[in-house]
Each structure stands twice: as C-alpha cells, then as structure tokens.
A and B are shown apart, each in its own frame.
Chain A
Amino acid sequence: DAKTTQPTSMDCAEGRAANLPCNHSTISGNEYVYWYRQIHSQGPQYIIHGLKNNETNEMASLIITEDRKSSTLILPHATLRDTAVYYCIVKGGSNYKLTFGKGTLLTVNP
C-alpha cells in the first residue's frame, strides 16, 4: 500500500472548520483513501473513505485532488470532542491490511 504523509499536529478553534491534509503521492489506481480517528486509548473510529470523487457523510467531507496524490479531510464545525489523532490510510486491492502511521493530532480549542 502507498505511504501517506500527514502533519504531526494541528489546532482548530471550536466551531470552525478543521482541514486535515494528507499526501499519498504513490497511490495506485485501485487504492482507496481511508480516514480514521482515535480518541485517547479508544479503538479507531471509521470516518470516511473515497477513491477519486469527493465524498461527504454525517461526520466529514473528503476532498481528493484530481491526480489523487493528496486529500483533505474536512470537519465542518469542529467541537471539543473532535480532539483526536486522525489517520489517513491508503488501502487497496485484496489487501486486508490497514497500515496506520503516526497520524495528525488535532486539538480543538475552546
């Protein structure tokens, strides 16, 4: 699976949009971009995934660039409970493995 690069940490004000970037320049055509988050010492929570089109669900929006080499996760109105480590993962083919990196620690401030 392709490797991903994310900033180590980001801050966001409560009520504002949080935009979390991810680079995956070696992504292959059949690989999906997944986002999970993990609140301290809990299990990772699935947020959203996409192949090449932008996706939106009740939690977030996923914007994937046309060349698919990068993506942005958008939390439209961040709350204090959105403070967590956010993982961008590329998963493809018939590969069971989710390869978690270090992720981005998002801190939402009052």
Chain B
Amino acid sequence: ETGVTQTPRHLVMGMTNKKSLKCEQHLGHNAMYWYKQSAKKPLELMFVYSLEERVENNSVPSRFSPECPNSSHLFLHLHTLQPEDSALYLCASSQDPTGRGTDTQYFGPGTRLTVL
C-alpha cells in the first residue's frame, strides 16, 4: 500500500465508449502523474500535474484528457479509444512540485484497460 489508489482496477470498453480512470493520493503530495505501460514496452510518461496545473503533456493523443480538480485527485478521461490503447495505466504522485532530482514518485496499482 503506497498511499496512491486507482479505480477501477480493470476496465473493458468499446471504441465508442467514454470512461474515466480515477487516481487518489493520501500522501499530501503536490505533483501527480499518468503513465502508460503497453505490453512488453517500458513505462511512458503521459501527463504531469504540479499544484493542479498541467506542466507536461508528452505528445499524448487528444482522446486522452486529464483532469486534476485538486491536489489529491487525478482523472484520465477516455473517449473513442483504439485497441492499441489497451495497456496498464499507472498513476503516481510526488511531494515536490518542481520535480527536483531527489523527488520520489510513488505509484498506484494501475488500471488494466482493454479496448475492444
């Protein structure tokens, strides 16, 4: 238990569906992250929020829409996904809003997404 929770843990959706992934951190951290891990590929950073402001968007398609309503919650809204978007989606949080070198990220358990 890292203090970062994600729901749902598993999600199956069709290409025309709209769904949302939720992340909550109970650590009092100031930065939150979305990562994607496709089968047999390294984790890829998708988005970074620092003090509820998006500070990084690593060329992620617009069918993925993040939202950070407060420092404890992070959402990833999904719409019109493709089968190749099936992956493990991981949320992380860290203390330092500047992301300094010594700032440690703590990960949630992930949401396993399958797009049919």
Contact assessment for B112 and A100 in the assembled complex, using a CB-CB cutoff below 8 Å: no
Contact assessment for A46 and B106 in the assembled complex, using a CB-CB cutoff below 8 Å: yes
Contact assessment for B104 and A46 in the assembled complex, using a CB-CB cutoff below 8 Å: yes
CA of A100 to CA of B92, assembled, Å: 14
Q: B74 near A: Cβ within 8 Å?
A: no
Contact assessment for B2 and A45 in the assembled complex, using a CB-CB cutoff below 8 Å: yes
CA of A31 to CA of B101, assembled, Å: 6
As a 0/1 sequence over residues 61 to 85 of chain B, the CB contacts with chain A under 8 angstroms (1 = contact) are 0000000000000000000000000
As a 0/1 sequence over residues 37 to 75 of chain A, the CB contacts with chain B under 8 angstroms (1 = contact) are 000011111100101000000000000000000000000
Number of interface residues of B (CB under 8 A): 29
Nearest-CB distance from B1 to chain A (Å)?
Answer: 11
Nearest-CB distance from A79 to chain B (Å)?
Answer: 19
CA of A12 to CA of B6, assembled, Å: 32
**Which single member of B48, B92, B102 contacts A49 (CB below 8 Å)?**
B102
Q: A17 near B: Cβ within 8 Å?
A: no
Nearest-CB distance from A52 to chain B (Å)?
Answer: 12
Contact assessment for B43 and A98 in the assembled complex, using a CB-CB cutoff below 8 Å: yes
What interface size band does chain A fall in? 20 to 34
Contact assessment for B110 and A98 in the assembled complex, using a CB-CB cutoff below 8 Å: no
Contact assessment for B42 and A102 in the assembled complex, using a CB-CB cutoff below 8 Å: yes
In the bound complex, residues from chain A placing their C-beta under 8 Å from that of B110 are 41-43
Known: A41-B112, A42-B109, A43-B109. A93 touches B101 (CB 8 A): yes
Known: A41-B88, A45-B2. A95 touches B99 (CB 8 A): yes
Nearest-CB distance from B68 to chain A (Å)?
Answer: 14
Contact assessment for B101 and A43 in the assembled complex, using a CB-CB cutoff below 8 Å: no
Known: A42-B110, A43-B90, A101-B42. A94 touches B105 (CB 8 A): no
A residues neighboring B (CB under 8 Å) = 30-32, 34, 36, 41-46, 49, 51, 91-102
Provide 12 A-B residue pairs closer than 8 Å at the C-beta atoms, listed in order of the A residue. A31-B101, A43-B2, A43-B90, A43-B110, A46-B2, A51-B101, A51-B102, A93-B100, A96-B31, A96-B55, A98-B45, A99-B42
